[in-house]
Structure 1
Amino acid sequence: MSLLTIRNLSVSFATSSGQFRAVDGVDVDVNPGEILAIVGESGSGKSVSMLATMGLLPWTATITADQMSFDGRDLRTISAKERRKIVGNELAMIFQEPMSSLNPCFTVGFQIREALRKHTSLSARERHARCVELFEMVGIPDPEKRLKTFPHQMSGGMNQRVMIAMAIACKPRLLIADEPTTALDVTIQAQILDLLTGLQRETGMGLILITHDMGVVAETAERVSVQYAGQKVEDQTVQGLFETPHHPYTSALLSALPERATEKHLPTIPGVVPGQHDRPAGCLFSPRCKFADDTCRQTPPPVQSAALGHARCHYPLTTPEEVSA
C-alpha cells in the first residue's frame, strides 16, 4: 500500500491581477521505505506541492486534488485537530532555510522538546534524554551543551542537523526534505545527505528529497519525479532517467551537468520558466524546447505510458540518439 498518494493536485494563489497556478495537476506516490526525488528549476512548484500536502500554505492558496491520502487517511477532509496529530509526528518536513525555520527566541533544545511534548507521552526527563539521543544520531557533538544554545550561536550545517533531529524526533513514517543542502559547503552537503540516507535505512521511513541538484539525485534517490512550471513532466527510476530521459526538459537538465558536457561550452536551457502572464497555450516547455512545433505550441501534451516515463510530451524521446541530439 502506498504511504502517500496524491492525484491531480493543483495549487493557486490569489494575486492582485488574478489567480496564479503554481502547481498544476501533479501526481505523487511514495511507498514505505522509498526515496523519491522531486527535481526541477526554481519556480517548478516542488516546495509548494509538498507544503500543500503538509497543510502549511497561507490562506491565499486554493488547493484542489482528486486524492490526497497519507497511510489511507484523506488529508483533504480531516479536521485541523486530526492533521496536527499527523504533521510533525508521522509526517515531517525539513524546511529549506534552517536559520529562518528555527525560532531565534528559544534554544534548539526547547524547540525539539516542544515537538516531543506535543506528540508523545514522554516525561520531561525522558524528553531530555530523547533530545540527547537525537543530537547524537545527527552527529552534533557535546549534545548536553548544544541543547542550551540558540540558533544564531550555531553554524548553518549544525542548524540543519538540528532541523533533521526535530523532524525525526517522533519517528515519522514519511520525511520530506526540502533542499536540505542549500547554502552549505560541499563537505557538509555530503555529510547531511549521508545522514539522511542512513536514517532512512535504519528506520525504514519514506523519504521525499526536493532538490535541483541532479548529482544528489544520482547518489541518493531510487525514483525521480521531474517538475516544470508546476507540472510533473516525467517520472522514472534513477537508472532509467539517467540512461534514457524521455522528456526534452529532463534531457536538457542532464545535458547541462558538467560531467556530461561533451562540448567546450556547458550547454544551457534558453529562456526562463513561464510565470503567471506568459504561459503558452500548449506545452509549457515549448518556448524553450528545440523539438517544439506548432502542435506543441498550441495543444497541451498528453501524459505518456510508464514505458515512456509518464512523460508529458507530444513527442517523447525514445532512443539515446534522440536524447543526445
Structure 2
Amino acid sequence: MPLLDIKNLSVEFTTRAGTFRAVDGIDLTVDEGEVVGIVGESGSGKSVTSLAVMGLLGSNGRIVADRMMFGGTDLLTLAPSKRRKITGKDIAMVFQEPMTSLNPCFTVGFQIMETLRVHEGLSGKALRHRAIALLEQVGIPAPETRLSAFPHQLSGGMSQRVMIAIAIACNPRLLVADEPTTALDVTIQKQILDLLVRLQKERGMALILITHDMGVVAETAQRVAVMYAGQVAETRPVADLFARPRHPYTGALLDALPERALGKRRLPTIPGMVPGIADRPAGCLFGPRCRFATDRCRAERPALTDVDNGLARCFFPLPDGHLGAEGAIQ
C-alpha cells in the first residue's frame, strides 16, 4: 500500500469573480522512501496540490477527492486536532521562499524547538541539544550561536537550511519540498538539493520534490508527474519520460532544455501561457498551444490513459524519438 494515496483530488477557490478550480482530478501516489518529482509551469497547480496534502489551504479553498490516504489514515475525514498532530511530524514541508517562511519575530532556536516541544514533548537541555544537532545535520556552522539568531541575520541559503532542519525535526515519513531553491544562487541551489537528497537517503523518508527544473528531477527523482493547468499531463518513471516523452507538453519542456538545443540557432520555447480562470478551453487544456491538436482535441478533454509504463493525457501520444517543440506551435 502506498504511503500517500490520492485519487481524483480537486481544489477550488471561491473569489469575488466566482469559483476557480486550481487543481482538477489529480491522482498521486508516493511509496515509502520514494522520491517523486512534480514539474510544470507557474499556474499548473503544483503548490496548491502540496498545500492540499498538508491541509494548509486558506479559508476560501475547498478540497474534493475520492480518496486521500496517508499511512492508512483518511485525511479527508480526520478531525482538525488530529490533523495538526500529523502535519509537521509525519508529513512536513519545506516552503519555496526561505526568507519569508520563517517568523521574523522569533529566533531560529525558538522556531526549531517549538516543533520539538509540540510534537516530541522535549524540554530543557534535551530540547536544546536536539536543536543544535539538527542545525549541525543541515550543515550550519557554529550551531550553538545560530540558535539565538533572528531570520534577518541569516542568508537565503542559511534560512533554507533552517527550514529543512525544522521540517526534519520529527523524522517525518513524507517530506514535501516546494521549489526549495527559489531565489537562491546557483551554488547554493546545488548545496540545498544535495542536502535534501542526502537526508532522504539517510532517513529513508519519502520525498515530493516540486520544481520548474527538469534537470533537478532527472538527478534526484525516481518518478515524475508533469502538471499542466491543474491536471496531470503525464506521469512515468524518470528514465522513461526523459528518453521517450509521450505528451506534447512534456516533449516541449524537454526540448527547451539548453543542453538539448546544442547546435540550434535559437532555444526552442513553448508559445502562449497556461490558461487562467477565464480562458480555459472546452477541450484539451494544452490544445491551443499544441500543433497536433485536432477537432476532437478542441471538443473533448482527454483522460489519463496507459502508455509506455505510465500514463499520459493525450489522444495522440508522441511516438519514439519525437520531441517537444515539434509538438508545439512554432
TM-score range, shorter chain: over 0.9
The amino acid that maps onto 1:295 is: R
User: Secondary structure at the residue paired with 1:10?
Assistant: strand
Distance in 2 separating the partners of 1:321 and 1:103 = 48
Moved over 3 A (4+): 321-325
Gaps of 5+ in 2: none
Quote the offset at 1:307 in angstroms.
2.3
Q: Is the 8 A contact 1:302 1:313 kept in 2?
A: yes
Q: Is the 8 A contact 1:246 1:316 kept in 2?
A: yes
- CA deviations 1:224-257 (Å, max 9, x no partner) are 0000000001001110010000000000000000
Q: Is the 8 A contact 2:252 2:323 kept in 1?
A: no
Per the alignment, residue 125 of structure 2 pairs with 125
User: Secondary structure at the residue paired with 1:14?
Assistant: strand
Per the alignment, residue 258 of structure 1 pairs with 258
- CA deviations 1:36-88 (Å, max 9, x no partner) are 00000000000001101111001101110000010010000000111011000
Distance in 1 separating the partners of 2:188 and 2:39 = 21
Q: Is the 8 A contact 1:40 1:227 kept in 2?
A: yes
Per the alignment, residue 313 of structure 2 pairs with 312
Structure 2 residue 270 is matched with structure 1 residue 275: no
Quote the offset at 1:99 in angstroms.
1.5
User: Secondary structure at the residue paired with 1:307?
Assistant: coil
Distance in 1 separating the partners of 2:290 and 2:183 = 30
User: Secondary structure at the residue paired with 1:290?
Assistant: coil
Distance in 1 separating the partners of 2:162 and 2:316 = 46
Per the alignment, residue 299 of structure 1 pairs with 300
Per the alignment, residue 94 of structure 2 pairs with 94
The amino acid that maps onto 2:148 is: K
Distance in 2 separating the partners of 1:267 and 1:321 = 14
Q: Is the 8 A contact 1:308 1:316 kept in 2?
A: no
Distance in 1 separating the partners of 2:169 and 2:227 = 30
User: Secondary structure at the residue paired with 1:6?
Assistant: strand
Per the alignment, residue 74 of structure 1 pairs with 74
Q: Is the 8 A contact 2:255 2:323 kept in 1?
A: no
The amino acid that maps onto 1:215 is: G
Q: Is the 8 A contact 1:228 1:273 kept in 2?
A: yes
Distance in 1 separating the partners of 2:322 and 2:232 = 24
* Alignment TM-score, normalising by the size of structure 1: 0.98
Distance in 2 separating the partners of 1:30 and 1:53 = 12
Quote the offset at 1:303 in angstroms.
1.4
Q: Which range is displaced more, 314-323 or 200-209? A: 314-323
Gaps of 5+ in 1: none
Structure 2 residue 178 is matched with structure 1 residue 178: yes
The amino acid that maps onto 2:90 is: E
Per the alignment, residue 286 of structure 1 pairs with 287
Distance in 2 separating the partners of 1:246 and 1:170 = 39
Q: Is the 8 A contact 1:246 1:311 kept in 2?
A: yes
Quote the offset at 1:16 in angstroms.
1.4
Quote the offset at 1:321 in angstroms.
3.5
Structure 2 residue 144 is matched with structure 1 residue 144: yes
Count of residue correspondences = 325
Change (3 A) 1:17 1:324: closer
The amino acid that maps onto 1:299 is: E
- CA deviations 1:159-216 (Å, max 9, x no partner) are 0000000000000000000000111111111110110000000000000000010111
Q: Is the 8 A contact 1:39 1:212 kept in 2?
A: yes
Quote the offset at 1:290 in angstroms.
1.2
Per the alignment, residue 108 of structure 2 pairs with 108
User: Secondary structure at the residue paired with 2:242?
Assistant: helix
Distance in 2 separating the partners of 1:192 and 1:290 = 38
The amino acid that maps onto 2:283 is: G
The amino acid that maps onto 2:253 is: L
Identity %: 63
Distance in 2 separating the partners of 1:264 and 1:307 = 32
- Listed as ranges, the matches of 1:123-272 within 5 Å are 123-262=123-262, 263-272=264-273
Quote the offset at 1:124 in angstroms.
2.0
